[in-house]
Amino acid sequence: MATNDDESHKKQEQEIFFETSTAAGTTFKVRFPSNDEGARFAVGYWSIRGLAAPIRMMLCAAKVNFDAFQYDLLEQGDDGWSSEYFTEKPTLRERYHQPLMNLPYIVDRKERAVVCQTNACFSYLAREIGMWGESSLDISKCEELLCEIYDIRNIMTGFAYGTPVAERETAGRDAVKKAKGSFKKVETILSSSSNPHYLVGGKATAPDFHLFEMLDQYEDLCKDVSAGDLYERFPCLKAFKINFESLSENQLYLKSQMHTQTPINNCMAVFGSAPGRPLYKRGQAAPWMNQGDIALSP
């Protein structure tokens, strides 16, 4: 005879774990005809590229079905900001037993788990989809590179969110100059590799996707603030970028709204706060927000 606990466990198994997020303004439902399984993963983040772009791109490259929950940051009053995510966050924290709840997060519906903190999201997902190296040494290299690339990102976000608009061009050029110190280290790694099209083990791993996103952002920043050629002394980085964006497995993501019609940063940033390179102006329309469900497939 089944007990109440047995019935409760059976019901839990039948329910899709973290199926939706009511606070998300847009949900991309990415499905591949070659993959007849349900969407095992979901990615939660702001309705920008930001930290989630490499994660979304990884999942597309691996041809893994997933949902992308995108949360809108909306104007509040004359100079404030609000989001339905802030309202839903305490509920998510309690419902899914994740005291570290934050953006980005990864939902693994198979394991009924939520993973938070950016590099933890990268490493967990990469292990599950085969983008984390083949040996212990490769794994350590992936970890090292994710930390180094995060330093490059921190320079970008420090500039984009911490600079007065009047100082953006000078501060932007300073940010590019500072970031080149870390890019030089990555150039050295690529120049000494037997396969400089990838950072680790001659195939795509998690740090490749984060590096690609940062190169893409700094290319735009160089144009935006007249900072010259990003690749002037970095031929290997230039070759890496050209090759990576030409790979067939990356075309679905790169041609999708998640990349082409989604801003790099949130609305208050002094760079990349609207799709393309214009700045978001308070009161303007934001067509990349509140789009409901969007189906995406090859």
Question: In this structure, are residues 20 and 28 in contact, taking their beta carbons and an 8 Å threshold?
Answer: no
**166 secondary structure, DSSP code:** G
pLDDT of residue 137: 97
Listed residue (96, 128, 100, 140) closest to 116, CA to CA:
100
- By percentage, how much of the chain surpasses pLDDT 70? 95
Residue 223 binned pLDDT confidence (cut-offs 50, 70, 90): very high
Question: Could you read off the pLDDT of 131-141 as tens digits, one per residue?
Answer: 999 999 999 99
> How crowded is residue 111: how many other Cβ atoms within 10 Å of its Cβ?
12
Distance from C-alpha of 113 to C-alpha of 43, rounded to nearest angstrom: 12
Q: Cβ neighbours of residue 193 under 8 Å, at least 6 residues apart?
A: 199
Residue 8, pLDDT > 60, answer no
pLDDT score of 290 more than 80 = yes
Segment 15-56, tens digit of pLDDT: 899 999 999 999 999 999 999 889 999 999 999 999 999 999
Residue-wise pLDDT for 251-266, tens only, equals 999 999 999 999 999 9
Read off the pLDDT of residues 85-116 as tens digits, 9 standing for 90 and up.
Answer: 999 999 999 999 999 999 999 999 999 999 99
Q: Which ranges of the chain would DSSP assign to H, the alpha helix?
A: 4-14, 53-61, 84-95, 118-129, 136-162, 168-191, 206-224, 235-246, 251-254, 257-260
In which region does residue 177 sit, left (phi positive, over 0), alpha (psi from -120 to 50) or beta (all else)? Answer: alpha
Residues paired with residue 106 on neighbouring β-strands, in sequence order: 43, 115
Least confident of 1-15, 24-38, 268-282: 1-15
Q: What is the pLDDT of residue 278?
A: 84
